[in-house]
Amino acid sequence: MEKHIEQLTKWLQMQVKDANVNGLLVGLSGGIDSSVVAHLIKRAFPNNSLGVIMPCKSHGKDEEDAQLVVNTSEIDSVTIDLTDQHDLLFNGIKQGLEAKEDWNSDKERLADANLRARLRMSTLYTIATNYNYLVVGTDNAAEWYTGYFTKYGDGGVDLVPLLHYTKTEVRELANKLGVPDEVINKAPSAGLWEGQTDEEEMGISYDTIDAFLEGEKVDDEAEKKIINMHERTAHKRALPASPPDFHHFTLE
C-alpha cells in the first residue's frame, strides 16, 4: 500500500498541475473514505489542501471524528454548518409542492437526504472557487460500481482518487496513512438520517461487494442484487443523455 500512496499522491499533484489550479479540498465527514482522502491531499499539497466539515443535522460524534482526522492529518480545515440552510430550502420546496397538493411524503426522507449531499457539493464548489482548488471525491470501487452516492451530490466532484480501491483496500490505505482506528472501525454511514448505515440500506455488506469486484464467487442472490444496483445507476456514471442532432437524424 505504501507504493499506492506514493502513486496516488503523485497523481493528485499531476491533476492539479494539468488543471492549472492551486490545490485540493475535500468534505470531511468523520468517515473512513474522506479521512483517507484528507490524508492523501495533505501529503500531495502540504500548504494547499483543505478539509471542509459540514454538519447538517448530523450526529455530534461525526464532527468529533472529523476533527480527530484534522489532527492526525494536520490538514487545514473549516467548519460550515448547513442545518439552517437545509431547513430553509427543504421546507420552502415542501411548502411549494404541498400548496399544489403534489408533495410525496413517501419520498420525503430520501429527498431530504439527497438535498444535504447537494448542499455540501454547492458549498465545496463555492470554496473551490475561492481558493482556485479542485474538489476531491471519496467514492471507492464498491460505491462507484453500485451507484451508492447522490448524483451531483457527493458524486459531483472533480477527481475520484479511490475509484479502484475496494472498501477493504481503503481500510488498508487508512491504516498506512495513520487514520485513527476509531474512524477505521466504525460502521460506514452516509449520515443522511439518524442511524443510517450503508450496509443496512443497501441490504448487502461491503465484504460481499468487494468479493464480487475481486471476481470471487458470491451467492446468487447477492450477485443479482449487485448487478441490479449497477445497471439501475448507470446514468450516474455517465454524462447527461442528449438527443442525436436532428439537423441530420430523424427518429423512426
Q: Catalytic residues, which ones?
A: 33, 143
Cβ contact 167:205 at 8 Å? no
Rule CB under 5 A: say whether 48 interacts with Mg ion: no
Task: Enter the DSSP assignment of 76.
Answer: E
List the one residue out of 54, 3, 58, 7 whose CA is nearest residue 27: 54
Contact 170, 162 (CB under 8 A): yes
Reported residue count of the chain is 252
Residue with cell 473549516: 78
Q: What is the CA radius of gyration of the chain?
A: 19
Residue closer to ligand DND by CB (options 170, 190) is 190
Stretch that binds ligand ATP, among 92-100, 189-197, 222-230, 243-251 (CB under 6 A): 189-197
Q: Which stretch binds Mg ion (CB under 5 A): 29-37, 66-74, 117-125, 158-166?
A: 29-37
Q: How far is the CB of 151 from ligand DND (least distance, A)?
A: 4
The interface region with Mg ion, picked from 30-38, 44-52, 100-108, 221-229 by CB under 5 A, is: 30-38
Residue 51 marked ligand-binding: no
Give least dist CB 72 to ligand ATP, A.
14
| Shortest reach from residue 113's CB to ligand DND, in Å | 6
Q: Which segments within 101-150 are labelled E, that is strand?
A: 133-135
Does 190 help bind ligand DND (rule: CB under 6 A)?
Answer: yes
Rule CB under 6 A: say whether 192 interacts with ligand DND: yes
Q: Measured from the CB of residue 199, what is the shortest distance to ligand DND in angstroms? A: 10
Shortest gap between Cβ of 138 and ligand DND (angstroms)? 8
What mask of x and - would describe binding to ligand ATP in positions 111 to 150, judged by CB under 6 A? Answer: ---------x-----------------x----x-------
120 near 82, Cβ under 8 Å? yes
Task: Consult the annotation and say whether 118 binds a ligand.
Answer: yes
Say how far residue 180 (Cα) sits from the centre of its chain: 20
The span from the CA of 141 to the CA of 212, in Å, is 11
Element (H, E) at 218: none
User: Could you say whether residue 62 binds ligand ATP (CB under 6 A)?
Assistant: yes
Classify strands 76-79 and 49-53 as parallel, antiparallel or unpaired.
Answer: parallel
Query: Tell me, what DSSP letter sits at residue 187?
Result: P
Query: Could you tell me which residues are annotated as the binding site for Mg(2+)?
Result: 33, 143
Footprint on this chain of ligand DND (rule: CB under 6 A): 110, 113-114, 117, 143, 148-151, 153-154, 190, 192, 198, 201, 235
